Structure 1
């Protein structure tokens, strides 16, 4: 055999040995170094408002009334969605239009019919008195702490832990903050230091958003918009949101007003015929914008906040 052929044969043998060694090493790593889906625990233990709770690692059938925003943001559909009669969270219906409704107080019979493998409550107060143990007999239960539910960032982060999607939750928050920074710059360029107030029109009554109420936090915190003196002097928001009279609104010196309320609400007609309303600086200047889907304004959630941000930018930069 020639020297050339011997060298060629030797090189071929070496290559085969290296390939075999690498394959064995990779097989060993995949078998012992990583976790397969089969090896992953089927349950996880977390801390909620009730203490330590054990829930499925990857729940498939979830009921989470008034937490659908966080679910949808992380790509999960519940088996039933929160409702009061026929009223649902309208801003989420592009994603949830085919999801059955479940009454806000979660009737036990309906919960059993939906066969959840996890039930999530927005707060301890959201559970009907004496029903907690009954729900636990149907499926594991996770209960948000009040402070966690009130802050959509914490709300989404916790949902990421529940669903095993912590990285996705972090990325969603990061993307939101970048969008907010861009929107803030646009609004600042458009209105400078002008003040803005938001009013919810419902059932012929008027609800002035406090600085810390629902999506008003998008205006005053995320977008850095200045609040008028009437809003600045309001006390911190309380669970019971009381309407404000037209007479009290006479002191609203905002440069811009955003009205949110369903089309045809009698409150809008009353404003048109009110001398108090017509005398407000923003109204006289033509700086009033109206949005007829108020649902994203009255919820704490990342999707709701994004929609509110879009509303604010369209209203204030036109």
Structure 2
């Protein structure tokens, strides 16, 4: 057969065919690759370990690889594009986005229900006793916001106390040093502080303000767009996780799995789990409705966003409509 196209036309068609084949290969490779999720030591995120060990992702028809990190390292990995999703607080999801790693919150896994604490040394009985005193916490993180919220309720201002910037994992020894009247930390650091300082006790916790600290699974927009059906399957697996942990018949097995992940005994892990309010999909759906205040993920995130801008953690408010996608929990 004699070609009627010039040789240059034939070359262009061939080139286009090669490019198209390469594009299809890339798309197929992305579809075949497992979703990569970074998780860390918080009961609402360790809960995923139950699904991992029970093989529920495979049953749901989705390939998922969970990578274990220290908390800050998980956010760094997400920002570097090494993972597709990460488990963080709603406030830290906004901080990560402001730093350039845009993300979309698709599940509210839980809210802190007592595990985040302001711990006072012996003799400090309430937040009012902190007036004129030093408090050690990590400036700009959730304990800072927790303290400010508590101070406002107690009729005090931030200027009524002296904040000492203290890495969260160093708060136990900081309280033990005797230089501070209180520290702000989450479990297990808050519990360790009370062990080191006999008589120290929580004087204000996240249980006093449910919804101030929501914990979420947040996904890169590119992964959510290209693998939406797979992320919907991940969301459905979460429903099984919560049911298994909350069922009195299966909770002991779930706690055993979670405790083994972090290297402690089940009886020591159970109190940590009780300080975390795991949320079913229906409960998460109700929270992911636009409203003001801490009962809504939007309202809570707006409060955190205002806090972050005021404290120069980032300069411009984040677009919450792009930061939250409530539709996957509604499927």
Q: Using structure 1 for the length normalisation, give the TM-score.
A: 0.32
The structure having more radius of gyration, on CA atoms, is: 1
Q: Using structure 2 for the length normalisation, give the TM-score.
A: 0.31
